[in-house]
Amino acid sequence: MTRPVRIVPAILTDDPQTLAKLIRQAETFTDYVQIDIMDGKFVPSRSVTWESLAGLSTKLHWEVHLMVQQPEDYLGSFKQVGALKAVFHYEATGKPEAVIGMSRQLGLGVGLAINPETPVSAVLPLIKGVDSILLLAVHPGFYGAKFIPEVLGKIAEIRAVRPDIEIGIDGGIKEGNIVQVARSGVDAICVGSAIFLQPDPAASYRRLVSLVAKTSRSAAD
């Protein structure tokens, strides 16, 4: 049986007005996005903050990807402004179990992200407590970084331990490699620059969806 693969548009900006523009664009072609948050500490770049989302009304459902140190300090604020799920980095906190527990108490879905150099073995004790795993296929913090294909080898390791968990991948994914990624066994592919930095984001999104759909059909045949 072929697992359906979702394309999740990923929004990254440091400008509140651009954030509003990207959200309005996304509303025309999807109902779910990931919003990237960066603190300039865990990663070199900075992004918008939760305050930038507080005044925005949107019909989109969204999750937040916290590329920040001490993600536990951000959970309540993002829940308050409408996040359905928080994805935090294993490398960003010394107490990941507490972050998971706090997210549950707040009613947030929980995703665990790992950087390219982090082995699956490091997070195996945590996998049963989260809803999803997000594999970073780039060193996080920038749009347009180069894809690291070796990360795809982690998927089988995770499936061997928890076959039903949602596995996502994020970073460096575009038309030229999305078919390879879709065939790797992931459930969700987060795409930023290959959608939002293109002349027509909606057309770019639909093109990526079409490529993934053809891959799924050929695998089922």
Q: Which residues are catalytic?
A: 36, 170
131 and 106 in contact (C-beta within 8 Å)? Answer: no
Cβ neighbors of 121 (< 8 A, separation 6 or more) are 157
Strands (DSSP E) contained in the chain are 6-11, 32-38, 61-67, 85-89, 109-114, 132-136, 166-170, 188-191
DSSP 46-108: B---HHHHHT---S-EEEEEEESSSGGGTHHHHHHTT-SEEEEEGGG-S-HHHHHHHHHHHT-
Residue type, 8: V
